[in-house]
Every structure is written in C-alpha cells, then in structure tokens.
Structure 1
Amino acid sequence: MKKLKIITMAAVCALFASCMGDSYAEPDANAPAPFGNNELTETNVITIAQLKSRYATYLATDYRDGDSYAKVADDIKIKGIVTSSDADGNIYQELALQDATGAVIVAVAQGGLHGSLPVGTEVLVSLKDLYVGNYGKQAEIGVPTTNKNGATFVGRMSRFTWDRHCKILSTGNKVEPAEFAVGSNVTTWSLDADGGRLGILRNVSFKSSNNPKVDSTFADANGGAGSVSWTLNEQDGKKVIVYNSNFAKFANSRIPAGKVDITGIFKRFNNQWEILIRSLDDIKSAEKTDPFKGLPGKGDGTQGRPLDITRALAYAKLNKKDATPYYIKGIISQIDEVSLKYGNARYCLSDDGTTANQLQVFRGFYLNGDKFTSASQISVGKKVVILGTLDYYEATSTPQVGKGSKIISIN
C-alpha cells in the first residue's frame, strides 16, 4: 500500500509539471514590468534641471513664507535613475532620482520601495497633476501635506498615485557617485542644482553627534522616532552633516575611527548638506588619492617632493578650490610689489627663471611667515620653496598661490 501511494503521488506531480509547460519554468523576460503604469510613453520628457528651472520660485520659497509648491498642469515627464535604497531604514518613504543634469526627491507613502525599485532602476515619471515643491529647500515631487500646525507643503503621495505616475524603463543601470569633496576642501556643488544627488565625500573622519547620549554609534536604536546627526572633523559642521535615523538597521553600529570615504544621498536642508548613507557599505576606509595624477611636471606637494611650477600651474588651472597647502619650488622671475605697509609681496615663479609660464604668488609672506621688512629680501633669480594654497583667480584668469603663503627657503 505504501509503495502504491508513492507511485500515485509521483504521477500527480508529473501531470502538474506537464500542464505548467515551459512558460512556467522560464518567465518571459520581455513581459511588461509588474509595477507602475505601463501605458505611459516617453513623450514630452524634460530634464530634471529643466524641471527645477520651471519651478524655481516655488523651490526657493520657505513654506512659512508663501507657496512652496505648485501643481503640474502640463503633460510633462522626467526620466531618472533610482540612487536611493530604503532597505536598511535610513531612507524612509522616498526615492532619490537623478539624470545627467541633476536630482530630485520623490515622496511616496510606501515602505519597501527597494523591492520594486532597487538602485539602478530607470523610471519614467508622469508629472501631470502631481506637485513640485520643496521641503527644507530640497526639490521634491509629491502632493500637498498639512502638518499638525496647519502649515502645508509638498509631501508624500499615496502608493496608488505613484503607481499611476511611474513606469519602469530598465534595471541594473550602474550609477557612480560624483565627488562632493576631498578632506577639508570646500565643495563645488550647488545646493540648488545638486541637492539629492548620489555623492562621495573622501578622506574625512567623524567628530561628534548632536545627541549627548550618543558618542560612538550612528544613532540611538532605543531612542524612538528621531535621528542623530554627526559632524566631521574636516568639514564645517554648519554646512555638512551625516544624518542617521534611529530606525536604521545600523543605528547602534559603532562609528568608524580614522579616515573614511562616505557615499550617500546628499540632500539639502535649507543651507546645509545632509548625507544619508543607504547602508554601512556606503562607508569605507579612505582611499589614498593622488590629486596630481596625470598632470605634467613633477612633485606631490610634500616638503620632500615639492611641486615644480609646471605641475603647480596645471593644478591651479583645474580650479578645484583646494584649501590644502602645498610645498612649491621655483625661481623668482618677476617682482610686482613688496608692501612694507602690509608686510607681504606679489611676485612670480617659473621653472627656469624666465617670464614664460609663470605662477603668481599673491600677497605672500617672507621666511616662516614673517612680514617683509625690506624690498631687498627677495630678488629675481632667487630659488625658493614656498608653502601655500593653489587657486585660480577667475576675474583675470590667473593661476596663483593664494594669499598668506610663506617662504620656506630662499637662496
């Protein structure tokens, strides 16, 4: 009897398998996406930058001062690639979308968005009848939301509304974070244009949190609704913070010691950058980068290997707004002014002492940073090593050593 039951069950299984056929075993890769509105077409598509330009007035208005959002009446659409993930709970009920021109946040009252819209998914968004506005000056797409105080601003749309307005175009697109800054360098990103982008801040270290109870973890897993923000040693804490939700899966993980590279969504909150990491994989030990890689000339800017003028000129012309002081060697080729009133000098350096391919030294000081007391302390033809920052004076298109440099040696 037992043997008969086994044979019968095997026959039933074989019957079901034959009925299911090949289509069950091998899904159709060309079938429409099971999420979103597959009826949407790629017509009237504008860039994210163009969208921000159209609604610039609303994006710049605080909700307490006037209308901070507007309904989209035209049949326009945007395309963007998802760069955010809510899998670890640090990003909540929103998506960060970006194209080649900028980024925008889409507010959706739905959890688990990473399931249907993982990082690298390209979506088409129909904007007609949605609202474009800002939350803390961060550009956002959603619907009007009223808080407990009666103030209205753009907030989360329902998942049903979102489902009608989006279409998945492709998946698996690779998105590389753009460089926000390195170390203590000031970023060149624009709060208006770049808020919401996927970025990376290199070679920084954690300083302190805004919560006296939290001194070694990202957030407080037992703190309830809320967040913990961390400042960084190398960046202005009033301008750049790392924002962590108490509900993030990594809330009670320890803050790493030493220098790290931080990848995340760089959101705007008024005049501050908030970095939202998506998971602990977004924080890695700092990679050593060579800012002079590929540039002509010699040197790495250290005292043992100062930059020659060829390389210093090439780097200054990049206009990276780098606040790092570098050692630079050259021959004084021209002296424009030695100010005994202010104790500084304006002169030029070149590799060969001629006036070709000169680097201007703007208001530099004498040995060890002392003030000049005599014009004869420097002269054309002298070989010097100086320590100063490299920048590019855009008004006159002049690569230069910024003011405040000092001579290390002269002979």
Structure 2
Amino acid sequence: MKKIKYIKLIMLTLALGLSVTSCMDEDWSDPTGDTAPYGNNDIQETNVISIADLKAKYASTLANQNDTARITDDLQIKARVTGNDIGGNIYSEVAVDDGTGAILICISQGGLFGFLPVGQEILVNLKDLYIGTYGYQPQIGTPYTNASGKTFPSRMNKTVWQQHFKLMGAADASKIDTLEFDISKAKDASYMKENCGRLMVVKGVRLKDADGVKTFAPESEKDGGNGVSRPIEGFSSNEFVVRSSTYADFAGTVMPQEKLDITGIFTRYSNTWQILMRSDSDFKISE
C-alpha cells in the first residue's frame, strides 16, 4: 500500500514539474500565466455536438459489443471530467459528462488527475479519433485489436491526446451532478444504455461478499484484468458489481457489512453494471 502511494506521489511530482516547464515555455509570450500548460490551446470552439447526439450519430457502431469507427467530421464535445485515476481504480482513461450523457476517453498516460481533475471542463476535437464500444461501453480512443480479433477503441498515445483537447477554465467540482441510480431499473436495458459511463450513486445496498474479513480487491482473487468484482446483494456477479483494481488505494480495505451508499462511474461490460469507485471516499455507511 505504501509503495503504491509512493509511486503516485512521484507521478504527481513529475506532473507538477512538467507543468512548470510547460508554463515557462508558453509564458515567454504570455507572462501572465493565463495559457494552460496542457493540451492544445489553438483549438477553437466550433461544431460542438452533445454526447447524446454523438452517440446517436454513431448508433450503428455503438450497437455492437466490440466495434470502432473513425470520426472523419470536424466535430467537438465539451464536457466535464467526472472520473479519473486519482484513487488508482480508474486508469488510462477519464469519464466525461456534458449533461446529455457520458463517455469514456482512453489515454495511455498515468497521473491524469494532475491536469484533468474532477470538475475540469474540456473541449475535445474528435476528428481522426475513434469511437466505439468495449463490451457495449461507449468510449473514445484509438483502435486496438485483441488476440480474439475483436477491435475496439483503446488508449491513445498521450501525444495524440495532447493535440486533441483544450482546458476550459479552472476545475469546478460543484458543477458535477451525481445522479441517483434507480436500483429498480438495474436490469432495464434502455436504462443501462442511457446511463452507462455516468457518475452515479446507489443508496442502501450491501456487498454480498462482505463478511468482516474480505477486502475489496486482494491479489489472491484477481482476474485477468487485475481486478475483483464484488456483487451487490440481490444480484448475481453477471448483473451488478463493484469493480475494484488490485492497484486501487482501497484494494486492501475490508468491505463494510452495513448498508452502503456507493458512488462511482457506472460502466457496463456486456449486460453487467460495474461501479468504478474513484477513491475510498466513494463509499460510506448509509444514514
């Protein structure tokens, strides 16, 4: 645990160091420090499309379990970051939401929380990026074909990402809405399609595996994705789970046996809801 936190401290220190260097490079012509040290400041806000309309435009691609399509039009989305890698559970991607819907953006880079904190609004130039699905979960990135021959959007090179986004002002977490998950619709296909990728909270639930001893994600129980899925009581492991990485800060935390309010990015893998908690503050005992 200490090793993981030490590595994260190093990553944040490096990120801050790069920020200073970048600021110095930019500020030869902008001594006020108003120029954002990350991203592409030359991107102008034009042809902004809502995430809901983007999904509608690529509906035929997103209808498949694993698929990808190149975005050839000059389109942009403008959204706020709702989830990042600060707690070690979400990695190489950020979740963004513009109020009409949410989507994951896959980036091959660590320490994303250093310049893409929760509440940060970004403008993303989509042209020549790829949109598609991994297990029906909509995401943006670059194409990757796995050993089974399935192609889906995966982590884009960090240099590519830097050219495709622009920071819009300062981060403001108060402008992020956390939607309450309607557990009565957990098996509703249309509800899953509409809300997968969003920041949500499910209230008053128990973890089926919590026994006062088991932790969220022990190494001994990890699967091929270095994670552990803990079912929500009342559902099977193929329906509704809390998904935790063995690298998460809270991986070694004993799961509470009480009823919980659990917040996170509610993603999907096939027809399974997966809650990706962002940090250990994303779960608390229900009042």
Say yes or no: TM over 0.5: yes
What is residue 195 of structure 1 aligned with on the other side? Answer: 196
What is residue 265 of structure 2 aligned with on the other side? Answer: 265
Displacement after TM superposition at 1:272 (Å)? 1.3
- In 2, the alpha carbon distance for the partners of 1:235 and 1:186 equals 12
Displacement after TM superposition at 1:190 (Å)? 1.8
What is residue 38 of structure 1 aligned with on the other side? Answer: 41
- In 2, the alpha carbon distance for the partners of 1:51 and 1:176 equals 20
Q: Which has the larger radius of gyration?
A: 1
- 1:39-92 deviations in whole A, cap 9, x for unaligned? 1111100000000000111111133xxxx1111111000011101121221101
Displacement after TM superposition at 1:250 (Å)? 1.3
| Contact 1:121/1:169 (<8 A) preserved | yes
- Number of aligned positions between the proteins: 251
Listed as ranges, the gaps of 5+ residues in structure 1 are: 1-22, 288-411
Q: Which residue, 41, 54, 59 being the options, matches 1:56?
A: 59
Displacement after TM superposition at 1:247 (Å)? 1.3
- In 2, the alpha carbon distance for the partners of 1:33 and 1:222 equals 43
1:108 aligns with 2:107: yes
What is residue 217 of structure 2 aligned with on the other side? Answer: 219
Write 1 or 2 for the structure with the bigger share of helix. 2
| Contact 1:122/1:173 (<8 A) preserved | no
Displacement after TM superposition at 1:237 (Å)? 4.2
- In 2, the alpha carbon distance for the partners of 1:59 and 1:90 equals 25
| Contact 1:104/1:196 (<8 A) preserved | yes
What is residue 77 of structure 1 aligned with on the other side? Answer: 76
Displacement after TM superposition at 1:235 (Å)? 4.2
- In 2, the alpha carbon distance for the partners of 1:253 and 1:173 equals 26
Write out aligned runs for 1:110-149 (5 A). Answer: 110-149=109-148
| Contact 2:204/2:286 (<8 A) preserved | yes
- 1:154-190 deviations in whole A, cap 9, x for unaligned? 11100000000000002124213100035xx334772
- In 1, the alpha carbon distance for the partners of 2:133 and 2:265 equals 16
Q: What is the SS of the residue equivalent to 1:83?
A: strand
What is residue 10 of structure 2 aligned with on the other side? Answer: none
- In 2, the alpha carbon distance for the partners of 1:89 and 1:114 equals 10
Displacement after TM superposition at 1:117 (Å)? 0.4
- 1:265-324 deviations in whole A, cap 9, x for unaligned? 00011111100001110001113xxxxxxxxxxxxxxxxxxxxxxxxxxxxxxxxxxxxx
- In 1, the alpha carbon distance for the partners of 2:233 and 2:250 equals 22
Letter in 2 for 1:50: D
| Contact 2:185/2:191 (<8 A) preserved | no
- The structure whose RCO (Cα within 8 Å, separation 6+) is larger is 2
| Contact 2:85/2:110 (<8 A) preserved | yes
What is residue 176 of structure 1 aligned with on the other side? Answer: 177
Write out aligned runs for 1:188-337 (5 A). Answer: 190-208=191-209, 216-221=214-219, 226-235=226-235, 237-287=237-287
Q: What is the SS of the residue equivalent to 2:194?
A: helix
